């Protein structure tokens, strides 16, 4: 405390009061600008369409066996008032979580036409391999897959889609 008073007194004596006042003001202004920038950046409005998202989780099976690595797409049906599709990818146990805006944030309630694709490399990686589908090609198109899912207003955590091989 004594050292800081001595330092202030010494600065006041050598440089004048204006320098000390400006230094203190600059510190306060910098602090105020820091606080304001944190508030502005932290209070950015979210996408208004994201406020109605609900959980959308489930499992993809092929002939009653979990299908790993499948891509699933929930395409909005004409009667879905939100009009925004969502998608996901199945893990090693066939489980998926839908994503609309941010990873695994869910989906909107309503009806969806579902498309699913699952492929694997058929050949060596050099030259680039060809890929073959693990499921019937009809599941790749939401209009021909025959899969329609309704997501209730509170979401769904147990959607089970059991595909059949042809």
Is residue 165 within 8 Å of residue 139, measured between CB atoms? no
CA distance 37 to 78: 43
CB 142 within 8 A of CB 75: yes
Q: Are residues 15 and 60 in the same domain?
A: no
Q: pLDDT: is 13 or 160 the higher one? A: 160
Position 10 scores a pLDDT of 52
Helix (H/G/I), strand (E/B), else coil: 15: helix
Same domain, 81 and 155: yes
Same domain, residue pair 32 and 99: no
- Domain containing 84 equals 49-163
Q: C-alpha 22: how far from its chain's center?
A: 46
pLDDT of residue 39: 56
Model pTM above 0.85: no
Together in a domain, 26 and 106: no
Question: Model confidence over 8-66: pLDDT tens digits?
Answer: 545 555 555 554 445 555 666 666 666 666 555 555 446 677 788 999 999 999 999 99
Q: How many domains does the chain have?
A: 2
Which tops the pLDDT comparison, 38 or 137?
Answer: 137
Strands (E), 16-109: 56-62, 65-66, 71-76, 86-89, 95-97
Which residues have CB under 8 Å from 102's CB, separation 6+?
50
Non-local CB neighbours of 28 within 8 Å, separated by 6+ positions: none
Domain check: are 127 and 95 in the same one? yes
The per-residue pLDDT for 43 is: 52
In the numeric block, the tokens 């208004």 are attached to: 48
Looking at the structure, do residues 89 and 9 belong to the same domain, yes or no?
Answer: no
Asked if residue 71 and residue 20 are part of one domain, the reply reads no
pLDDT of residue 142: 96
Q: In terms of domains, do 70 and 108 share one?
A: yes
The tens digit of pLDDT for each residue in 100-124 reads 999 999 999 999 999 999 998 877 7
Cβ atoms of 66 and 59 within 8 Å: the answer is yes
Mean pLDDT of 115-141: 86
116 and 93, same structural domain? yes
Q: What is the pLDDT of residue 20?
A: 47
Q: Give the pLDDT score at 40.
A: 56
Backbone φ and ψ for 26, nearest 5 degrees, come out as: -60, -40
Same domain for 60 and 35: no
Are 37 and 55 part of one and the same domain? no
- Res 78 pLDDT > 70: yes
pLDDT value of position 121: 81
pLDDT score recorded for residue 82: 87
Question: Domain containing 88 — which CATH number?
Answer: 2.60.40.10
Question: Following CA atoms 93, 97, 102, 105 in sequence, which dihedral angle do they give, to the nearest 10 degrees?
Answer: -140
63 and 137 assigned to the same domain:
yes
Contacts of range 19-23, beta carbons closer than 8 Å, 24 or more positions apart: none
The reported pLDDT for the residue numbered 14 is 52
């Amino acid at each position: 405390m004594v050292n800081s008073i001595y330092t202030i007194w010494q600065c006041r004596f050598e440089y004048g009061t204006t320098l000390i006042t400006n230094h203190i003001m600059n510190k306060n202004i910098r602090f105020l600008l820091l606080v304001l920038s944190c508030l502005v950046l932290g209070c950015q409005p979210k996408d208004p369409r994201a406020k109605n998202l609900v959980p959308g989780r489930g499992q993809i099976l092929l002939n009653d066996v979990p299908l790993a690595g499948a891509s699933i797409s929930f395409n909005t049906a004409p009667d879905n008032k939100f009009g925004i599709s969502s998608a996901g990818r199945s893990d090693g146990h066939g489980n998926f979580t839908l994503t609309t805006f941010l990873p695994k944030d869910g989906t909107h309630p309503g009806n969806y036409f579902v498309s699913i694709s699952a492929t694997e490399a058929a050949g060596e990686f050099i030259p680039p391999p060809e890929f073959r589908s693990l499921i019937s090609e009809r599941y790749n198109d939401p209009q021909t897959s025959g899969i329609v899912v309704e997501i209730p207003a509170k979401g769904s955590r147990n959607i089970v889609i059991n595909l059949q091989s042809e």
